[in-house]
A and B are shown apart, each in its own frame.
Chain A
Amino acid sequence: MRRLPLSGIHLVLRRLLQLVGVVVGIATVNFFLLRFAPGDAVQVIASEAGSASLEYVEALRRQFGLDQPLWWQYLNYMSGLARFDLGYSFRHSMPVATLILDRLPATLLLMTTSVLLAVFAGGLLGILAAYRPGKWQDVLISVLALLCFATPLFLIGLALVVGFSVWLDWLPVGGMFDIAVQAQGWARVLDVARHLILPALTLALFYMAVYVRLMRASVMEVRRQDYVRTAISRGNGPVRVLLVHVLRNAALPLVTMLGVQMGSIIGGAVVVETVFSWPGLGRLSFDALVQRELTLLVGVLLCSSILVVLVNWLVDFTYAVLDPRIRSSRS
């Protein structure tokens, strides 16, 4: 990153081009793929109404633009996209972008919290297990990790709700804040935090399990390396050896995994958001799918994929910081 000018701009341009490619690809594939699903938004609305006449259904189709030929709908959508317009959701009577932006903060908050929690707790437990291989600490941590990984997300979530909300009455059952109280300022931050604990924990527990296993294996391997032995023999303290020599290399697989998993974390959020009534993107997209709100769904998928691309850039950047060899090979 020190020799920015020419190669830097080049790199940024290449990245942006990649992003545009991803957006066009995702939009096109999803636009057509989703239309294979039987039924359309109008049918869902008509069946929700419990009764409908032919005139009513046709009026809705016209309004939604579903009576137009498919290629025309596609061209319309893509030309909107070129103007950064994600389209309009007739069902919600709102622009898709507004709907998504409304939900994005909740999703980002939940995701960031649980990812950080999963990485730190998982990393820490993994290191602990690696330093005590075969001992009871290792066995306990490994069993716990396996248990968390094997239990379906919604089950962990419901168990936590029954335990901490219904029995102990410490935390709220769901939602993002207490509507009756309508707290402001710091009280509101605290309120949201209280509501965040259970969903974040549920999501984190599952992914933590992966990081524990990964970190354990990785740390054990690195500790056997010659340079670590050298470092120890040069009289470095165990903490310094861990932080400076072991962790830096052992963290690489963890970071790789993180990038790969971002996509599935957004997917996993659907379940957690549903169980905890968390008003995030996952639920929005799931509802959109069931309701055949395809414009909205493609919009959410686009945003998620952009998010995944951005996170992967961050991962690449982290690589470069962690491992100078990668940096030099790039520039």
Chain B
Amino acid sequence: MGGFRGWKAGALAVLTALFATGVARAEEPKVPKKGGTLTVIAQPEPVILTAALSTSSPTGFFSGNVFDGLIDYDREFGLKPALAESWKLSEDGKQLQLNLRKGVKWHDGQPFNAADVKWTLENVWRKYHPRNQALFANVESVDTPDDHTVIINFSKPSLAVLSSLNSNGAQVLPRHLYEGTDILNNPYNNKPIGTGPFIFKEWSKGNHIVLERNPDYWDQGKPYLDKVIYRVIPDGGARTAAIEKGEVQYAFFSPVPARDAERLSKLPTLKVETKGYEWLSPWLFLDLNVEREPFKDEKVRQALYHAIDRDAYKRIVWFGFGKPAISPVVSTLTEFHDPTVPTYPFDVAKAEQLLDEAGLKRGADGVRFRINLDYLPYGEEFRRSAEFLKQSFKRIGVEAEIRNQDTPTYTRRIYGDRDFDATIQWYAGFADPLVGVTREYNSSGIGKNIPFTNGPGYKNARVDEIITLAQGSGNQEERVKLFKEFQQQVQKDVPSLPLLELEFFTLQASDLNDTVTSVDQIYSSFKNAWYTDPSKR
């Protein structure tokens, strides 16, 4: 190990390499080659293979290969035609018309048409999809004037809908296989029939999932790969070994600790990619339980914020991946992000002063108060985050006791029993703050034992009002204004301290091209990917 200096040099090399390939691609568009098998790590193993019925990420990472979205993304949050060739949202934002692609077939040969979309919206998205239930809550009726036109009528303007019509947000299921069945127990949930670029072949639980090229795919000539295999490798060390040895050519969602990524990125056969996660808009934060002393006082909350050196945190805990956060709406969402929110730069003296003002003086042992610090048990980086914060708080006289537990115990404690002081957590905010950000501040979800809702127990009437207004507004400019006001308010009150805009990374073989073509790539497919020399794979 070259120590810190070596790591810096490595990062630089990676950056230049990334930059160089980007430039080369722009100069001479290479012609994709057909063939080859791609082996991908699926970790953790999906529970179910149909994303319409589960928004869990492992399912999403897989499902986009078998199912198409209605609308796709490009690399800049722009929309691209997919199953819908064109779409139109009415002036008042209350009617969405989708013109579906003709000649698309399900993998079993049946034609795909408007009835499939209507049926899935009414019976699956509105009933079982945890995110879409809210998104499609205002749907009044769905009309299908012909086989290739879907008109969705909303009772209130619903602008956020367009941000969620990709294959993860709005996965259309084959009506002919689902209608009249017990949807949650339909056998096709685990041997999916889609319209997508790859056809499902086999799922051997605990081992692998095999997909084969769909020769009749509507996007002519695609996909290029013959086969995609998802392998289940539960151990982190074994994942590193499999990637290093080349048994696996693609591993996403930060498959190994950042430390290993740094070492692996130096191998000539591998490259690190951090694009393709933007749609998630993930941010990591520290929730402070505002229903308890001493966090009822906003000065105490602000003091803790000042005590954290977020640059050092990113460097030390995340090995440089990510970006210090100032708002729960991440900076890559340029339309909504407000860079003028109140900020709390690293300032120990200021933090101490705020605590003094709050009446929390240092005791004889130098301690002002003690808290328990919980963290979401999602891997090494989260544990180290807790250790980093413990150190940061110690400096200002706050003693934090770190508590470790498994996920069900954790969610129960935070969202059910509410028996905690402070906790480290991350959410995906998605392309529209209404989909993923507001749940953290909306007072309607407090203490109902629903995982990943309002952790701090924050109640602010104006914030609740803004959320309702943004949900029903048909004017995008007005919504942007509302969300900026929202950010100003929550960053003034800081019930939750946004610490880092998370940056996930993908490790992939360097001879694999065009793996990232959209901001939601990890929920999308491998239909554009191709090997420089498929005969070797």
Residues of A within 8 A of B (CB): 37-40, 43-57, 59, 63, 90-93, 99, 102-103, 154, 158, 161-162, 165-166, 169, 172-176, 179-180, 274-277, 279-280, 283-284, 290-292
Q: Is the CB of B37 within 8 A of A180?
A: yes
Q: Considering the complex of A and B, which 7 residue pairs feature the smallest CB-CB distances, nearest first? A: A39-B408, A279-B206, A47-B451, A48-B56, A39-B412, A49-B55, A173-B242
**Please, which residue of chain A has its CB at the minimum distance from the CB of B205?**
A102
Are A46's CB and B47's CB within 8 A? no
Contact for A50 among B189, B237, B428, CB less than 8 A: B428
Interfacial chain B residues near A284, Cβ < 8 Å: 206
Other A-B pairs, 15, CB within 8 Å; known A176-B207, A275-B235: A39-B409, A43-B411, A45-B54, A48-B56, A51-B439, A162-B241, A166-B241, A166-B244, A169-B245, A179-B39, A179-B208, A274-B234, A277-B238, A284-B206, A291-B408
Given contacts A44-B408, A102-B205, A179-B231, contact A173 B54 (CB under 8 A): no
* Min CB–CB distance A316 → chain B (angstroms): 34
**Chain B nearest Cβ from A219, distance in angstroms:** 38
Query: Do A283 and B206 touch (CB < 8 A)?
Result: yes
Our pick among A49, A102, A274 for the contact of B130 (Cβ within 8 Å) is A49
Q: Pick the most buried of A45, A154, A169: most chain B CB atoms within 10 A of its CB.
A: A45
12 A-B contacts (beta carbon < 8 Å): A38-B409, A40-B408, A43-B451, A45-B56, A47-B408, A56-B128, A63-B184, A91-B47, A158-B238, A174-B241, A174-B242, A292-B408
> Is B102 engaged at the interface, CB distance under 8 Å to the other chain?
no
Chain B residues touching A, range: 35 or more
Assembly CA distance A92 to B210 (angstroms)? 18
Q: How far is the CB of B22 from chain A (nearest CB, A)?
A: 30
Contact residues in A for B37 (Cβ distance below 8 Å): 180
A247 and B380 alpha carbons, distance in the complex (Å): 50
Asked if B247 lies at the interface with its beta carbon under 8 angstroms from chain A, I say yes
**CA A290 – CA B409 in complex, angstroms?**
10
Contact status B407-A44, CB under 8 Å: yes
Q: Which residues on B sit within 8 Å (CB–CB) of A175?
A: 207-208, 231, 233
Cβ contact within 8 Å between A173 and B247: yes
Across the interface, A277 reaches (CB within 8 A) one of B189, B234, B411, namely: B234
Contact with A along B186-197 (1 / 0, CB 8 A): 010110000000
Among A40, A93, A292, find the residue whose CB has the most chain B CB atoms closer than 10 A.
A93
Is B7 an interface residue, CB under 8 A from the partner?
Answer: no
Interface residue B535 (Cβ < 8 Å from any Cβ of A): no
* CA distance in complex: A281, B398 (Å): 45
Residue of A nearest to B451 (CB): A47
B220 proximal to A (CB < 8 A):
no
Count A-B contacts at CB 8 Å: 162
Q: Are B205 and A99 within 8 A (Cβ)?
A: yes
Chain B CB within 10 A, most for which of A45, A48, A161: A48
Instruction: Say yes or no for B449: interface residue by CB 8 A criterion.
Output: yes
For residue B205, which residues in chain A have a CB less than 8 angstroms away from its CB? 92, 99, 102-103, 279
Known contacts A50-B56, A92-B47, A292-B408; decide if A173 and B241 are in contact (CB<8 Å): yes
Beta-carbon contacts of B282-308 to A below 8 Å, as 1s and 0s?
000000000000000000000000000
Given contacts A45-B47, A63-B184, A172-B247, contact A52 B452 (CB under 8 A): yes
Known: A45-B54, A92-B205. A158 touches B237 (CB 8 A): yes
CB distance from A107 to the nearest CB of B (A): 11
- State whether B238 touches A39 (Cβ < 8 A): no
- Give which listed residue, B128, B185, B448, contacts A59 with CB less than 8 A: B128
Q: Which of B203-227 contact A (CB under 8 A)?
A: 204-208, 210, 227
CA distance A54 to B241 in the complex (A): 42
* Bound complex: CA A53 to CA B128 (Å): 10
Per-residue A-contact encoding for B126-137, CB less than 8 Å = 1, 0 else? 011011011000
Q: State whether A161 touches B237 (Cβ < 8 A).
A: yes
| Closest CB in chain A relative to B279 CB, distance in Å | 13
| Of B48, B128, B210, the contact of A179 (CB 8 Å cutoff) | B210
Asked whether A51 lies within 8 Å of B229 as measured between CB atoms, the reply is no
Interchain CA distance A317-B127 in the complex, whole Å: 58
Could you tell me the distance between the alpha carbons of A290 and B47 in the complex, rounded to whole angstroms?
Answer: 13
> Which residues of chain B are within 8 angstroms of A275 by Cβ–Cβ distance?
235, 237-238
Question: Which of A46, A162, A291 lies at the interface centre, i.e. has the most chain B CB atoms within 10 A of its CB?
Answer: A46
Nearest CB in chain B to that of A91: its residue: B47
B406 at interface (Cβ–Cβ under 8 A)? yes
User: Which of chain A's residues have a CB closer than 8 A to the CB of B407?
Assistant: 39, 44, 47, 290
A169 CA to B247 CA, complexed, in Å: 11
The distance from the CB of B59 to the nearest CB of chain A, in whole angstroms, is 9
A276 to B184, CA, bound (A): 32
Residue on A with the closest CB to B427? Answer: A50
Contacts of A180 in B (CB 8 A): 37, 39, 227, 229
Chain A, residue nearest B227 (CB): A180
Chain B CB within 10 Å, residue with most, of A63, A179, A275, A290: A179
Residues of B within 8 A of A292 (CB): 408
CB distance from B432 to the nearest CB of A (A): 13
Closest to B445 in A: A54
Contact between chains at B452 and A43 (CB < 8 Å): no
Inside 8 A of B229's CB, which chain A residues have their CB? Answer: 179-180
Minimum Cβ distance to chain B for residue A50 (Å): 6
- A38 with B128: CB separation less than 8 A: no
Which residue of chain A has its CB nearest to the CB of B405? Answer: A38
Instruction: Determine if B406 and A290 form an interchain contact, defined as CB atoms under 8 angstroms apart.
Output: yes
